Amino acid sequence: MEATRSFDPYAVFASSVRTHPDRIALSIGLQEWTYAQLEEHASAIAGWCERYTPEGARIAVHGQKSLITYSAILGILRSGRSYVPLHPDHPPARWRTVIERSGAVACIAGWEVEELLRNEVHVTVPDSPLQEEHGAVRSGNEAYVMFTSGSTGGPKGVPISRANVAAYLSHFLTAYDYGPEARFSQIFALTFDLSVHDLFVCWGSGGCLCVPEQQGALTVASYVERQKITAWFSVPSHAALLRRMRSLRPGVFPRLRHSFFCGEALPWDVAKAWCEAAPNSNVVNLYGPTEATIAITAFDVRSAAGGIGTVPLGVPIGTNRTLVVPVADRDEGELLLSGPQVSSGYLEDAGSTEQAFVKIDGQPGIWYRTGDLVRKAEEGTLHFIGRSDDQVKVLGHRVEPGEVDSVLRALLPDVSILTLPMAESGTTRLVTFIDQELETSGLLEELRSELPPYMVPERILFVDTFPLTAHGKVDRKALIEMAKHG
Ligand code: AMP
């Protein structure tokens, strides 16, 4: 009798190592490593983790896309520890916050950043084997912690268990056939949980993870061609940009068999253009917040004739469940999620956890309140309407404008501050309004040293007084109009 397959993220990789050690597992630029070679690197790092860090510890990984980083992720998981990725383009102050909040006991990075980590983040390299248990100790059930924008008090850590990831992988490694020669894209930053799909759906299917040499949409079309990509995964903004650059011509991606999009609304016109550009590929719109592990609903674009606006979110995958809770005076409701992919709450943040992870009368389990407004069609398909709060996506990155305000408030205690998203020609940017005339270049510099680049507002504008609506609230529309014309 065949043993039941484990979908634990490290186990799916290890199973491919056993079945075809000589196939290529990782390709970065012109360099390639087989499954056996990658396993060798991972096991060396796992040995280091076991010797120098406590069981169940969290270990930060500098997210430069290199052999060391991919081996570190695998090695950390192999050793029963969990990884906390740091974005290479984020300022060291952000890395420090992430390391402190997660309680990571060490950081694995290439030598290029060692000095920066030592001097600016004050990470030290353990130089003697573990003597005594220190740092946060967990049961070894956690896979990773990703940080998302928080409206107050900085970024929120979302711990995701190995069981959460296994629930996701069990669907994606059985519902789709990637074929023996599958070659997966790896566009997502390792700080974005969608990268977990790239790595482990690829390695679980025995495919090759193809890391582009250069990031950026300009080189995407040639990357797909050169690397002979068969399984694509990106945010819709990427496809939209390709389309604007006229690179999404019919039939341009004949090798693609699978195309997944996630992270923000997928416009129908972009989806249709992709269907024509990749005539041999299925095209799937995935939806899901970090708190529900990568993606939790799916919609097959080719199953529908088309539509206006954005592609539906579809139906939950696996045994996950959705609930639409009516919102006063509106036809749509807030989407709540429950099931094996849903995290148990935020890291060290009981207040936010209590607000977002709730119990519902008559429904078993814990439900995560997404803040997304949806409509459920009769046959159960979910349609995305928008957000119930200020959260926005800037090129696929989740941003709470309030987080920008809280950093500025610490710098300008007596000034009224409001950051708003401004959508123009298909892209969203942030604009901050303040009611004191100040020199803003220094302020922007200050924000750049603390926040990820996509969270730094494009402009800081001075307003005499904030305009108010008839109900006495700040008139956001009027402010946006001022920004457009000023
Ligand atoms: P993140 O935690 O960064 O993955 O962001 C999750 C949020 O992105 C969701 O709560 C939605 O607001 C948005 N989102 C993700 N996927 C989709 C999608 N397919 N369509 C519309 N919005 C999406």
Average pLDDT over residues 317-336: 91
Average pLDDT over residues 217-236: 89
Per-residue pLDDT, 478: 94
Average pLDDT, rounded, for the chain: 92
Which residue, judged by its Cα, is nearest atom 1 of ligand 1?
A: 289
Which residue, judged by its Cα, is nearest atom 5 of ligand 1?
A: 289
Question: Which whole-number Å values give the CA distances from 472 to 127, 416, 462, 480, in the listed order?
Answer: 60, 16, 20, 17
475 C-alpha to ligand 1 centroid (Å): 26
Cα 342 versus chain centre, distance: 15
Evaluate if residue 86 carries a pLDDT over 90: yes
Alpha helices in 357-462 (DSSP H): 401-411, 440-448
Which residue, judged by its Cα, is nearest atom 13 of ligand 1?
A: 264
298 C-alpha to ligand 1 centroid (Å): 12
Per-residue pLDDT, 133: 43
Ligand 1 mutation pick, 168, 283, 287, 341, max ligand atoms within 8 A of CB: 287
Cα gap 376→185, rounded to integer Å: 32
Ligand 1 mutation pick, 393, 400, 454, 455, max ligand atoms within 8 A of CB: 393
393 C-alpha to ligand 1 centroid (Å): 8
Evaluate if residue 69 carries a pLDDT over 60: yes
Which residue, judged by its Cα, is nearest atom 23 of ligand 1?
A: 264
Which residue, judged by its Cα, is nearest atom 22 of ligand 1?
A: 264
Share of the chain above pLDDT 90, in %: 80
Evaluate if residue 137 carries a pLDDT over 50: no
Q: pLDDT (tens digit, 9 = 90+) per residue, 397-407?
A: 999 999 999 99
Evaluate if residue 135 carries a pLDDT over 50: no
* 9-303: CATH architecture: 3-Layer(aba) Sandwich (3.40)
Per-residue pLDDT, 119: 83
Which residue, judged by its Cα, is nearest atom 9 of ligand 1?
A: 289
CATH topology identical between 319-387 and 400-485:
no
Evaluate if residue 342 carries a pLDDT over 60: yes
Per-residue pLDDT, 98: 96
155 C-alpha to ligand 1 centroid (Å): 17
User: What residue segments make up the domains of the chain, in order of their start?
Assistant: 9-303, 319-387, 400-485
Strand ranges, E, within 198-314: 208-211, 231-234, 258-261, 282-287, 297-300
Average pLDDT over residues 346-360: 95
Evaluate if residue 218 carries a pLDDT over 70: no
290 C-alpha to ligand 1 centroid (Å): 9
Residue 354's nearest CA partner among 345, 343, 364 is 345
Average pLDDT over residues 190-215: 95
Evaluate if residue 345 carries a pLDDT over 70: yes
DSSP annotation string for 195-231: HHHHHHHHHHHT-EEEE-SS-SGGGHHHHHHHTT--E
400-485: which CATH topology?
GMP Synthetase; Chain A, domain 3 (3.30.300)
Residues lining ligand 1, judged by CB closer than 6 Å? 148, 262-266, 285, 287, 289-290, 313, 370, 372, 384, 387, 393, 398
61-70, 289-298, 311-320, 326-335: range with lowest mean pLDDT: 326-335
Evaluate if residue 131 carries a pLDDT over 60: no
Evaluate if residue 246 carries a pLDDT over 70: yes
What is the pTM for the complete model shown? 0.94
Evaluate if residue 337 carries a pLDDT over 60: yes
264 C-alpha to ligand 1 centroid (Å): 5
Strand ranges, E, within 327-468: 333-338, 357-360, 363-376, 382-387, 392-394, 397-399, 417-424, 427-434, 459-462
Ligand 1 mutation pick, 237, 398, 399, 454, max ligand atoms within 8 A of CB: 398
Give the homologous superfamily in CATH for domain 319-387: Luciferase; Domain 3 (2.30.38.10)
415 C-alpha to ligand 1 centroid (Å): 32
Q: pLDDT (tens digit, 9 = 90+) per residue, 108-128?
A: 998 888 888 888 887 765 666
Per-residue pLDDT, 426: 72
Evaluate if residue 67 carries a pLDDT over 60: yes
Evaluate if residue 2 carries a pLDDT over 60: no
Q: pLDDT (tens digit, 9 = 90+) per residue, 367-403?
A: 999 999 999 998 899 999 999 998 999 988 999 999 9
